[in-house]
Amino acid sequence: MTNPHDEGPDFGYAELGRIRLHYAKSGSGKELVLLLHGFPEFWYSWRHQLADLADEYTVVAPDMRGYNLSEKPPDVASYKIDELIEDIAALIKYFGHEQAAIVGHDWGAGVAWAIAQKKPEILSKLACLQVPPPSVWRKNQTFRQFAASWYMFFFQIPFLPEMLLKSGDFAKLANGLKTTTAREGVFTNEDIEKYREAWARSGALTGGLNYYRANIMKRMFGKAPVPKKIEVPTLFIYGEQDRAVLPQTVEGVGDMVGAEFTELRIPEAAHWVQLEAREKVTTALKEFLTK
């Protein structure tokens, strides 16, 4: 049966004072669910879940700062994790809520974990896809993971990554999406054209890369205080064929959670798990959110 919300979300701009964020929104339920994308995506990463969760919730997928139609501050410091946390806190208030369930993938997961550590009062529930908390990543770091993460260090270089990624009408980014799924056809040619349109917006590519430049060296490899346990109900979903975040790197995520914790491993999916395993991810999210 076709979900009526598959026809597409509504769009708008949240003027937050600190930043202007574009967003996609579906549903009108009492509870707010925020869907946070990663690199090199935009709200479109969550198109399936925007439809699938809209019957029961108000579901919002913003373009994170620096991406697509959202504002793109030019300086690297504007992409530090504390700035990203405050964006989401302001967005929750913009929609008239004190708390939200936050679902994050890739860098969106990184922001979500940071919110759980630094601003847990705005979280009702936490769901993270593919990326573990930084403390778990550091604990599990191996040479294989270091090699798989080579691009994070390449992205630290100014200007050159932008030049290479833009060449050939963003051929490397498009190929990166198409060839890192567990099965063919997850990203259609039509999807890739939508991504190209988002990447081509002025400042968008640099905005996405600045997440790495502002945070990676300190969060993944720098000295950090012993982290507090996360005290909100937490779901972790992992597609086991991920070639960027290796299975060993996500071992022991539950050790960082002091509240109810659920973990779902999906053997037939890779990094883009919410697209590759739409039904399993949506079912897990619905069960988790309604507990």
Domains parsed from the chain with CATH numbers? 4-290 (3.40.50.1820)
Q: Would you state the pLDDT for residue 290?
A: 95
What pLDDT does 272 receive?
Answer: 98
How do strand 261-266 and strand 234-239 relate by DSSP bridges? parallel
C-alpha angle with apex 255: 253 to 260, nearest 5 degrees?
A: 90
The question of whether 37 is a catalytic residue gets the answer no
pLDDT band, residue 274 (cuts 50/70/90): very high
Question: Is the model's pLDDT at 1 over the cut of 50?
Answer: no
> Is 212 considered catalytic here?
yes
242 as an active site residue: the answer is no
**Residue 46 CA to its chain's centroid (Å):** 9
Of the residues 105, 212, 238, 242, only one is catalytic, namely 212
Token code pair at residue 79: 């992409």
Per the residue annotation, which of 22, 37, 105, 271 is the catalytic one?
271
Which ranges of 120-269 does DSSP label H, i.e. alpha helix?
134-140, 143-148, 150-154, 160-179, 189-199, 204-221
Per-residue pLDDT band at 166 (split at 50, 70, 90): very high
Residue pointed to by tokens 């108000």: 58
Q: Which residues pair with 22 in a beta bridge?
A: 13
- Predicted confidence (pLDDT) per residue in 206-240, tens digit: 999 999 999 998 766 666 777 889 999 999 999 99
Selected catalytic residue, list 52, 63, 87, 106 = 106
What is the C-alpha to C-alpha distance for residues 281 and 239, in angstroms, rounded to an integer? 10
Distances (CA, A) of 252 to 132, 133, 135, 267, 287: 9, 10, 10, 18, 22
Average pLDDT across the chain, whole number: 95
Write down the pTM of the prediction.
0.95
User: What pLDDT shows up at residue 101?
Assistant: 98
